[in-house]
Structure 1
């Protein structure tokens, strides 16, 4: 008998067995894959939960990204939501729908990507589900533990707070622009789209420093800060000089005849963290002050509305 090559060759239960055999628990995993449900230790007594949906050809393309890239990105975008609340990620639940003719080696790469990204934050994939579909669909739920801290919400920004960011801005948008033009380099920006690198440790650090509001930059800096401004009933004023695009982004934008500042202000998928802090807080070097919280509403850049919004589904 020939070696099985596709999902159809092994069937649902063979696929589940293959996936779970590649996963390893962590200390917070009380009951992992294989039972009716997972059991996760949560010493804080409160669970932080976030869920996300990724569709093939909308959130990723197999001709642009490897299966390993997709696993990393799917995990990263969910863990970024957890750390943006000031929590420590503990686990992932993954729902997978895929065509029967999908090769098992692609599944192996996907699972490895999930496991590798989870290991970066000390979390584990603890369960999920599989189904057949015409295209690959991933439904990912991340769980986290506050470890005794209060959650950092969108609604806590106050006039007089400073606004600061940590992580890259605009790189994933530049990578998407490069790939959309049919190019595969420069590799730094292309890889930023394929496999984001959220500054995970800074979420907990920001909470410990007294961040009053925080979010991850998934839809664009201005759009995501707009959520903080609306929830907090304040205006956020950004300084353009503090958001100068990096030389690499300027080089790419020159080659593509694009505006690099549009990537910085409107590009998502980098999963940087942006937060507001009391003015007296001394921030570590990983954080860059980019503006202030004032009375009013909305977001301004050098006093003006930014004309280009971030990503929004259905528009």
Structure 2
């Protein structure tokens, strides 16, 4: 199959485009100077992210398919957090010329499959040679005539609730940093046991739990239905939990000028996270769950967990006491 350098820019583009499924939301996809994306609302929700090899993913930990799905998921989740329906992705893909063509194709398989899960499509983008793999993703969405759900609408008396997994990706990253390894082919998106059988590397989660957590780090599973659900339930604020629950709730608190108090006993902490589960759930990022605030009388379905309340003041507390936000800072260590 050869390398992307041997295939050349336009040969690579042709190979990648053939792998992308069409969508009615993208009437004109790759092939012209620009794509055409449907925007029935007349407004477009737009967001962008960069994923850089060694910073956001490691090639010895994640296969290309998972990298593609993760790149799409973290952007699609931002669109959903605005209460919008994802429509399209634009993808900038940079990689060394020696990268195998099949590896690049699997990245685009992952991008396309994740888009399909959210009801979107890859509309176009660019490819370029670079010293390391980098993905620059722009996601677009449509509000269908509704106002956006922002971070600034929380009011004293509101409930605080979450939808989706918390802490799994951070726990999986911890296992990988501790030496957990796979015997399966990462390109197949599989997770297998550590070949040396080191239970210490798996930690209290055990072997099956370790597989689950490492898989969560490689491929997040945003509950894409959360945006529409939150809107229907009358959410006053909503965001994607990408950098850690407390840190991201701090964004709502700052934008809304309120105090958010989290009840630690109400935070969903499954046994698989082990003794450090609460810490992972409060500060771990990249699961792309959703956190929102709702009027006090709202009856939330079981898919949402009420974890706190909104009060007068400013900031975030846990059980009434101040707590370090933790979480991820792209310019931190």
CA positional deviation for 1:291: 0.3
Residue 297 of structure 2 corresponds to 280
From 300, 304, 308, give the equivalent of 1:291: 308
SS at match of 2:152: helix
Residue 43 in 1 paired to residue 40 in 2? yes
CA positional deviation for 1:106: 0.6
Residue 261 of structure 2 corresponds to 237
The TM-score normalised by the length of structure 1 is 0.95
CA distance in 2, matches of 1:314, 1:49: 23
Matched residues, number: 305
Pairing 1:160-239 to 2, within 5 Å after superposition? 160-184=157-181, 186-239=210-263
CA distance in 2, matches of 1:307, 1:51: 28
Residue 127 of structure 1 corresponds to 124
Please, which runs of 5 or more residues in structure 2 have no aligned partner?
A: 182-206
CA positional deviation for 1:245: 2.0
Residue 329 of structure 2 corresponds to 312
Runs (4 or more) in structure 1 with deviation over 6 Å come to none
Please, which runs of 5 or more residues in structure 1 have no aligned partner?
A: 254-258
The TM-score normalised by the length of structure 2 is 0.90
Residue 100 of structure 2 corresponds to 103
CA distance in 2, matches of 1:174, 1:314: 21
Residue 265 in 1 paired to residue 265 in 2? no
CA positional deviation for 1:243: 1.4
From 286, 295, 300, give the equivalent of 2:317: 300
SS at match of 1:58: coil
Residue deviations 1:253-282 (CA, integer Å, cap 9, x gap)? 5xxxxx222111110000000000011111
Q: CA RMSD in A?
A: 1.0
CA distance in 2, matches of 1:244, 1:22: 38
From 16, 21, 24, give the equivalent of 1:27: 24
CA positional deviation for 1:146: 0.5
CA positional deviation for 1:308: 4.6
CA distance in 2, matches of 1:83, 1:45: 17
Q: Is the 8 A contact 2:68 2:107 kept in 1?
A: yes
CA distance in 2, matches of 1:43, 1:166: 28
- Further displaced range: 138-147 or 15-24: 15-24
Residue 256 of structure 1 corresponds to none
Residue 56 of structure 2 corresponds to 59
Q: Is the 8 A contact 1:149 1:207 kept in 2?
A: no
CA positional deviation for 1:22: 1.0
- Further displaced range: 262-271 or 241-250: 241-250
Q: Is the 8 A contact 2:260 2:316 kept in 1?
A: yes
CA positional deviation for 1:307: 2.3
Residue deviations 1:161-208 (CA, integer Å, cap 9, x gap)? 000000000000000000111114511000000000001011111012
CA distance in 1, matches of 2:21, 2:273: 38
Residue deviations 1:91-146 (CA, integer Å, cap 9, x gap)? 00000111000011111110100011011011100100011100001000000011
Q: Is the 8 A contact 1:262 1:308 kept in 2?
A: no
CA positional deviation for 1:244: 4.9
CA distance in 2, matches of 1:155, 1:308: 19
- Further displaced range: 14-23 or 47-56: 14-23
